[in-house]
Amino acid sequence: MAGEKILIVEDEEDVMELIRYNLAKEGLHCDAVYNGQDALKKAQVMLPDLVLLDLMLPGVDGLEVCKRLKSSPQTEHIPIVMVTAKSDESDIVTGLELGADDYITKPFSPKVLVARVRAVLRRKITDIPKKNTIVKIHDIQIDPGRHKVLVKDKAVELTSSEFNMLYFLAARPGWVFTRYQIVDAIHGADYPVTDRSIDVQIVGLRKKLGPTGKYVETVRGIGYRFKDTP
């Protein structure tokens, strides 16, 4: 990770300087703005590799910035990491549903910040396997063509929903998804199922996966992700 352009959107100067200092040590090129309106203008010109976006901003807030960036063909591909207070779970959910890639809560460890940024920069949309690509991760092999799952070379029988859920999460390790995003991904938009039914299916999926079910992680107040490290 070196040379990528990061746009920091943060209205607290001391926090912004802390972020800039730690990312610069990793060889990243950082520009910073202090409000949402300037962030929208800067992103269009700079086309950064990642936007680190505070949600509590004067004028145009972070959620609106996220929405506008993700709705513009010029900037929709740019990853966004939200920076938010721990109490703002509803804003985190909204941000993820608007298209943000990850989040970090204040106060944060500089090491955690760098790790999150590094992880998101590694995630290019082209790295997501195509629909029929076999996914191999953590002793799990998922073959969508044959609708087959192997855990340590032993077949695991899953329902169609469980299979689609596992494939969706495992193909994007480390990504956090809300329950509604998972419903839309495996059933399609407007499917008549409650988000809490996802919790029930996750419990069943983990049970069938045995010890490897631990890789399907609950992100409290947000949703689920597939762990990207052993």
Residue ranges, CATH 3.40.50.2300, the chain: 5-126
Query: Alpha-carbon distance 212 to 205, whole Å?
Result: 10
CATH number of 5-126: 3.40.50.2300
The pLDDT, as a whole number, for residue 86 is 63
Give tens-digit pLDDT for 105-128: 888 899 889 988 888 887 654 455
pLDDT tens series, the chain, 230 aa: 457 899 999 999 999 999 999 999 988 999 999 999 999 999 999 999 999 999 999 889 999 999 999 999 889 889 999 998 866 778 888 888 888 888 888 888 998 899 888 888 876 544 555 567 889 998 999 998 888 999 999 999 988 888 989 999 998 888 888 887 888 777 665 555 555 678 888 999 999 999 999 999 998 878 899 998 77
Quick one: which of 156, 87, 91, 110 has its CA closest to 14? 110
- DSSP H or E stretch at residue 31: strand 29-33
Residue ranges, CATH 1.10.10.10, the chain: 129-226
Q: Which CATH architecture has domain 129-226?
A: Orthogonal Bundle (1.10)
DSSP state of 185: H
Angle at which helices 196-209 and 179-187 cross, to 10°: 80
Peptide bond between residue 144 and the one before it cis (omega within 30 degrees of 0) = no
User: Model's pTM, two decimal places?
Assistant: 0.67
Q: Which residues of 19-57 are buried (b: 16+ CB within 10 A; e: fewer)?
A: bbebbeeeebebebbbbbebbbebbeebebbbbbbbbbb
Residue 162 in tokens: 């469980």
Phi, psi of 119 (to 5 degrees): -65, -45
Per DSSP, what are the bridge partners of residue 34?
A: none
Radius of gyration of the chain from its Cα atoms, rounded to whole angstroms: 19
